[in-house]
Structure 1
Amino acid sequence: MATHRASESKREQFRRYLEKSGVIDSLTSVLVTLYEEAEKPNNALDFIKLHLGAPGAEPADVEALRMELADLQQKCNLLMEENKELRNRLLQYEPSPEEGAGV
């Protein structure tokens, strides 16, 4: 009988811990959202992960944005190199400020 009470006490402490940390509210909210979905997703666990913000559960848009970012960074680097090269070529044809000031 004492073992039963000890486990009930631990269970109650754990429940209070989950409530205090907001886990119960978050889970309830996600489950309500899933319940209210008109078309249920094929994988309920993925739906829950996505809506809880679990790592590894990212929308497809995030991967597309990462790829676009990498592409744009590469283009930016190429343009920076081209800009540097053009500035160097321009310096060959323009007099330096010291030469122009002596005239």
Structure 2
Amino acid sequence: MAHYKATDSKREQFRRYLEKSGVLDTLTKVLVALYEEPEKPNSALDFLKHHIGAAAPENPEVEALRLEVAEMKEKYEAVLEENKKLKAKLLIHERTFPLIP
């Protein structure tokens, strides 16, 4: 009987640990999302991995990299636009002053 109570006590401690750390809440939310999904995914495990990863708090380094990627995308778009304008100017100059061999 004492062995049963020790096991039960460990389980209860573990359950409280999971509850305090937010694991139970996160798992519940993800499982509810899976349950409410109109078209069940082929892989429930992949669904859980994807949604649990999305629910995890962001690492500051990851957030910094996201910002850097966003800035680089903006710069890339600006360079593409500048390139387009320069090509148009070059075409005009080539038509105005054709190279004579």
**Normalised TM-score (structure 1):** 0.53
Q: How many residues align?
A: 66
| CA RMSD in angstroms, aligned pairs only | 3.2
Q: Which residue of 1 aligns with 2:42?
A: 42
One-letter amino acid of the structure 2 residue matched with residue 22 of structure 1: G
Shift of 1:33: 0.1
Q: Higher relative contact order by CA 8 Å / sep ≥ 6: 1 or 2?
A: 2
Instruction: List gaps (5 residues or longer) in structure 2.
Output: 55-68, 80-101
**Normalised TM-score (structure 2):** 0.54
The structure whose Rg is larger is 1
**1:10-89 correspondence to structure 2 within 5 Å:** 10-53=10-53
Per-residue CA deviation, residues 9-51 of structure 1 (Å, 9 max, x unaligned), is 0000000000000000000000000000000000000000000
Runs of 4+ off more than 4 Å: none
Percent identity reads 69
